[in-house]
Structure 1
Amino acid sequence: MAAVPSREVARRVFAREFNDASYTFKESDDERAPVYLLLPTGERVNRIFLVGTLTETEDVGEDSEYWQGRVVDPNGDTFFMYAGQYQPDAASMLRELEPPAYVSIVGKPRTYETDDGEVNVSVRPESITTVGEATRDRWVVETAERTIDRIQRFDAADEEDGAAVDEYVRMAREEYDLPVENYRRAVTEALESLEADDEQVEASP
């Protein structure tokens, strides 16, 4: 019996880092091998898990429905997602949801090159679920922790023997010329936004 490929872990990432990612690769020549997006902090991603505020939905299809959704994270940065006939459940959710709403999304990163050579990244959703504020807040905290873990591993590469450096960190250093401090700042801003929300709740009568 052929081995059934296991599903890739869905990684948590803030939109600022996700939108900076542009390099994709496969780890084998097999036509069905998974395509990975390389995050600037040195993590390979085949699926992502995000929670944020759905701010806008629009049918941008010409011949058939093709829904675009915008989801904003606590820093005000935007994930773009697209769902059409091959993602019927996700497309149905985007058709029916009334923004603004907190949503949880699991999906696959997709890159495309614009006419002027820019590489943009979006999410092809596998599932979209409406959630409450507590779920959004928990995602922010856990995503902050995962991002800091990646940054620490990335920074540690400066002190390690070349042979010991994580291969994806090495790849990120070769493919991107981006300061990982940008993502440390995103973590700080996201956690501060949660504190500000809590203070507003406490201040309200």
Structure 2
Amino acid sequence: MSQAPTREVAKRVFAREFNDATFTFKESDDERAPNFALLPTGDRANRVFVVGTLTETEDIGDESEYWRGRVVGPTGTFFVYAGQYQPDATAFLRDAEAPEYVAVVGKPSTFETDDGTVNVSLRPESISASDENARERWIVETAERTLDRIEAFEDETNEYAEMARDEYDTAVETYRREAEAALDSIVEDGDAAEESEPEAAP
């Protein structure tokens, strides 16, 4: 019976934490072993699920298409890159009419610049059109997952939290504030929408 690798669950992460997840690792020497990004709140992520606003797309390829998309959420921006190995995602970014809501499932990817800065981006497995309701549900669920990770951060058996303490300087409380601010943004958007609705005629 073949030991086919199972797909990792796609983690929900806000942009601020995702962009801070600059340390990557494997858990075995097998060349097919999955590559993980270490989340600063003490978890590993091989795949990530994001819903946000696609605000810009650009073909930055030289000899062949290589598309970059900016997906904006309540705590920052995810950069999505798709080329010949992601034909469906490439086609979506090529045809997209920004701004529009999108849902993205992809793998974290890191790139070190000449000055030593590590940039984190998303290599999409899929991109699809989404809507405001899905975005709000994603914010609520992502905030819950973020707070769950923070609650488990001090658990002595949490090996990923121990790794995060070694690798990162940012306090996990930063991500608690980000999650709370993201939830507040939904409330504020809802209040603004109510204020803009015309009053019913008497």
Deviation at 1:14, TM superposition (A): 0.2
Which position in structure 2 is the counterpart of 1:160?
none
Deviations 1:62-107, CA, capped at 9 Å, x for gaps: 00000000000023x1000100000000000000010000000000
- 1:173 match: secondary structure: helix
Which position in structure 2 is the counterpart of 1:63?
63
Which position in structure 2 is the counterpart of 1:194?
186
- Counterpart code for 1:108: K
- 1:65 match: secondary structure: coil
Unaligned runs of 5+ in 1: 158-163
Which position in structure 2 is the counterpart of 1:134?
133
Which position in structure 2 is the counterpart of 1:185?
177
How do 1:136-151 residues align onto structure 2 when only pairs under 5 Å count?
136-151=135-150
The TM-score, its normalising length taken from structure 2, stands at 0.96
Post-superposition, which runs of at least 4 consecutive aligned residues in structure 1 deviate over 3 A?
none
How do 1:67-78 residues align onto structure 2 when only pairs under 5 Å count?
67-75=67-75, 77-78=76-77
Unaligned runs of 5+ in 2: none
Deviations 1:120-156, CA, capped at 9 Å, x for gaps: 10000000011110000000000000000011111x3
Question: What number of residue pairs does the alignment pair up?
Answer: 197
- Counterpart code for 1:68: R
In structure 2, distance between residues paired with 1:203 and 1:143: 27
In structure 2, distance between residues paired with 1:7 and 1:152: 26
Deviations 1:3-47, CA, capped at 9 Å, x for gaps: 221100000000000001110000010111000000001110000
Match of 1:169 among 161, 164, 187: 161
Deviation at 1:53, TM superposition (A): 0.3
Which position in structure 2 is the counterpart of 1:110?
109
In structure 2, distance between residues paired with 1:165 and 1:31: 27
Q: Structure 1 vs Structure 2: percent identity of aligned residues?
A: 64
Deviation at 1:165, TM superposition (A): 2.5
Which position in structure 1 is the counterpart of 2:16?
16
In structure 2, distance between residues paired with 1:194 and 1:200: 10
- 1:61 match: secondary structure: coil
Deviation at 1:185, TM superposition (A): 1.1
Which position in structure 1 is the counterpart of 2:28?
28
